[in-house]
Structure 1
Amino acid sequence: MTVEKLTANAILLLKKLIETQSFSKEEENTAILIEGWFVENEIPFKRTKNNIWAMNRYFDERKPTLLLNSHHDTVKPNSAYTNDPFKAIVKDGKLYGLGSNDAGGCLVSLMTTFTHFYAQENLKYNLVIVASAEEENSGKNGLNSMLPIIPRIDVAIVGEPTLMNLAIAEKGLVVFDAVVAGTPSHAAHPNNNNSIYNSIEVLQWFQDFKFEKTSEALGDVKMTVTQINAGSQHNVVPAHVDLVIDVRVNDAYSNQEIADILQEKSPCTKITPRSLRLNSSAISTEHDLVKAGVAMGRATYGSPTLSDQACLTCQSLKLGPGDSTRSHSADEFIYLSEIEEGIKIYVALLNRVIV
């Protein structure tokens, strides 16, 4: 089947995906649609929970393996939608609908690319594709659960909307729960250890603190206090103030290093990371994928947003049609031309690297 025909079928599949609810952990029905693609194209596949995956016909364990990955779960639509989020609407060259941009367009484009190369012989790389679940909630049954099941991966292309530019690095994430303690008391009595007042100095520390190491691709580590909670009634000084701190980690630090620094230096009574598994990721600018993309005129940049790259230990490149700024927005859309262009660029890029 020609790339043009595959592209037309990919757009039809994306419309079906939009019109099938697939919130994280509820992707059963979109998984069935994705299975249908592989059946129609006579490609053997496997399903593990709601993850669908396949290998190219001439898979050879002696060769390095390139993973193509994107996800088919979505966030829930926000209240500002004016369109039906579960209706695929085409207007002025735009395909509207929940998950169209994040990351349905990327997924069907990568599925098309995999299908194009599936039966080719003598490729320099094996190809493995995973249409993964639970990306939006970093769930335990997403791509991370597939890594012990699929063949060992040497490098990956993760499909997220990047305007088909090369995200050569991606910030990691650590969320911390922190406590600022004080002495509980009646509001009418003197108290020189009011936990709420104590938190003023702590909040100022978080606002002013700078991590020393910066990154050429990702810049500085960004730390933001995003939640604060204390007290239960007007006449009681609370024993503690609870804070939540969001830390976006560059590739100069591991998540463990960030936790060690904050636990040593922050003026909190207690600070605890929720998880250390969502590390930053990157690919060398000397990797053939990057050099090929740059030769094709694609820009490189560092991405501040998290994706399934965070669970990979190999080098990985984030690349896909669509625009990240549309993700999770009301009346989400992707241009049909972006999908068409995205497939052409994916195919041309792999022609330079694996053929």
Structure 2
Amino acid sequence: MNQHSYISDSIELLKSMIDIQSFSREEKDVADFIEQFLKIRGLSPRRKGNNIWVISKHYSQDKPTVLLNSHIDTVRPSSGWTYSPTRSTIESDRIYGLGSNDAGASVVSLLALFRILEEEEQPCNFIFSATAEEEISGDGGVASILDELSPVDLGVVGEPTRMQMAVAEKGLMVLDGEVMGKSGHAARNEGINAIYQALSVIDWFKNFEFSKKSDFLGDVKMTVTGIEAGSQHNVVPDSCKFMVDIRVNEHYQNRELFELIQQQVSCELTARSFRLNSSFIPVDHPLVKRGEELGLEKYGSPTTSDQARMPFPTIKIGPGDSARSHTPNEYIIVSEIIEGVQIYKGLLEGLHINSK
């Protein structure tokens, strides 16, 4: 098959994927379909759970390895759809349907690229993976197969970025806090009001600035997004609970940041997870330099993806626009997929990188 045929084949795959419901943790049917699609085309997919991957037939332990990854799960459709979210609809150059933009277009574009690169041996090994549970940062997604792969030296994460290079991505950490007081009758001057005690803590989260700033991601951003206290109007509350959404730049690991916060705040804090760390690839990396030669822009992404689960350098890039994700009448433009494959090819064909 020629390059055009691989792209056309992948576009047909995308239409079929849209027609198969694949909410997070419910990806079995679409994973079954993709597995069969790959086998019919002479590839040798491997599978764990609802994750599918293919290793290059030219694989050699003497070469560095590049992972081409995107996700097959979708969020549940929001209200406001005028098309059927789980049936592909084609109008002019647009394919409408849930997951078309986020991230089905990246899945099929990376697959087309993988098949193109398989035509000739490359300086790098390539592994294509279509993985589950990205939308919920689940442990049954890409993180569950990394030990199954050879040591990976570079990851290309397919997400809708208008084919610009996200060279950094904010991490996410959610904290639950509790400030204690002492209950008493509201009509009398007794008790210690936990809400009042919490005001200074909440004010600290609102105004504190960490010293390390990022050229691409800016400051660490902390936002108090929930508060719970009190049970009835005449009782001084003895507990005030709150939660904080923290978006972390690449200069801090989540656990490190948590310890710094604990030193500053005098209340009980619990992190829900430390696993979604910020991602970053050096701007002098050969892949980034090649992207610059192609005229691609570098930027920092505020959203979290499977990059957070990958302990090796990664770049996030893919066809489509993040602004369309999780919205009614989500769509991808066919020409964006074609352009995406061409740019991926320009980035990765003949690429030389160092092994770990």
Q: TM-score range by the shorter chain?
A: over 0.9
Residue in structure 2 matching 1:290, options 288, 291, 297: 288
Q: Which residue of 2 aligns with 1:62?
A: 62
- Matches of 1:237 and 1:225 in 2, distance apart? 22
Q: Deviations over 1:154-182 (max 9, x none)?
A: 01100011100011111111111111211
Q: Counterpart of 2:151 in structure 1: which amino acid?
A: R
Q: Which residue of 2 aligns with 1:251?
A: 250
**How do 1:119-138 and structure 2 match up within 5 A?**
119-121=119-121, 123-138=122-137
**How do 1:287-326 and structure 2 match up within 5 A?**
287-326=285-324
Query: Is 1:273 paired with 2:271?
Result: yes
Q: Tell me the CA shift for residue 92 of structure 1.
A: 4.1
Q: Which residue of 1 aligns with 2:49?
A: 49
Q: Is the 8 A contact 1:135 1:142 kept in 2?
A: yes
Q: Which residue of 2 aligns with 1:242?
A: 241
Q: Counterpart of 2:57 in structure 1: which amino acid?
A: R
- Matches of 1:183 and 1:150 in 2, distance apart? 54
Q: Counterpart of 2:60 in structure 1: which amino acid?
A: D
- Matches of 1:110 and 1:79 in 2, distance apart? 30
Query: Is 1:19 paired with 2:39?
Result: no
Q: Which residue of 1 aligns with 2:169?
A: 170
Q: Which residue of 2 aligns with 1:179?
A: 178
Q: Tell me the CA shift for residue 136 of structure 1.
A: 0.8
For these two proteins, the number of residue pairs brought into alignment is 353
- Matches of 1:218 and 1:293 in 2, distance apart? 19
- Matches of 1:135 and 1:31 in 2, distance apart? 14
Q: Is the 8 A contact 1:72 1:107 kept in 2?
A: yes
Q: Is the 8 A contact 1:13 1:33 kept in 2?
A: no
3-state SS of 1:153 partner? coil
Q: Tell me the CA shift for residue 56 of structure 1.
A: 0.6
Structure 1: gaps (5+ residues): none
Residue in structure 2 matching 1:351, options 343, 349, 352: 349
Q: Which residue of 1 aligns with 2:110?
A: 110
Q: Is the 8 A contact 1:58 1:119 kept in 2?
A: no
Q: Counterpart of 1:281 in structure 2: which amino acid?
A: S
Q: Is the 8 A contact 2:192 2:236 kept in 1?
A: no
Q: Is the 8 A contact 2:117 2:349 kept in 1?
A: no
- Matches of 2:268 and 2:45 in 1, distance apart? 48
Residue in structure 2 matching 1:331, options 324, 329, 333: 329
Q: Tell me the CA shift for residue 330 of structure 1.
A: 1.9
Q: Is the 8 A contact 2:192 2:238 kept in 1?
A: no
Q: Counterpart of 1:23 in structure 2: which amino acid?
A: F
Q: Tell me the CA shift for residue 65 of structure 1.
A: 0.3
Give the superposed CA RMSD: 1.5
Q: Is the 8 A contact 2:170 2:278 kept in 1?
A: yes
Q: Which residue of 2 aligns with 1:75?
A: 75
Q: Is the 8 A contact 1:56 1:119 kept in 2?
A: no
- Matches of 1:304 and 1:110 in 2, distance apart? 23
Structure 2: gaps (5+ residues): none
- Matches of 2:352 and 2:18 in 1, distance apart? 32
Q: Deviations over 1:19-67 (max 9, x none)?
A: 2111111100110121122113201111100000111111001110000
3-state SS of 1:188 partner? coil
- Matches of 2:37 and 2:44 in 1, distance apart? 11
- Matches of 1:81 and 1:75 in 2, distance apart? 14
Q: Which residue of 1 aligns with 2:339?
A: 341
The alpha-carbon distance between structure 1 residues 186 and 85, as it changes in their structure 2 partners (threshold 3 A), is: farther
Q: Is the 8 A contact 2:191 2:236 kept in 1?
A: no
Q: Counterpart of 2:25 in structure 1: which amino acid?
A: K
**How do 1:191-206 and structure 2 match up within 5 A?**
191=190, 193-206=192-205
Q: Counterpart of 1:68 in structure 2: which amino acid?
A: L
Q: Counterpart of 2:288 in structure 1: which amino acid?
A: V
Q: Counterpart of 1:291 in structure 2: which amino acid?
A: K
Q: Which residue of 2 aligns with 1:215?
A: 214
Comparing 251-260 with 326-335, greater Cα deviation is found at: 326-335
Q: Counterpart of 1:262 in structure 2: which amino acid?
A: I
The alpha-carbon distance between structure 1 residues 231 and 80, as it changes in their structure 2 partners (threshold 3 A), is: farther
3-state SS of 2:77 partner? coil
Residue identity over aligned pairs, in percent, reads 46
Q: Which residue of 2 aligns with 1:34?
A: 34
Comparing 43-52 with 196-205, greater Cα deviation is found at: 196-205
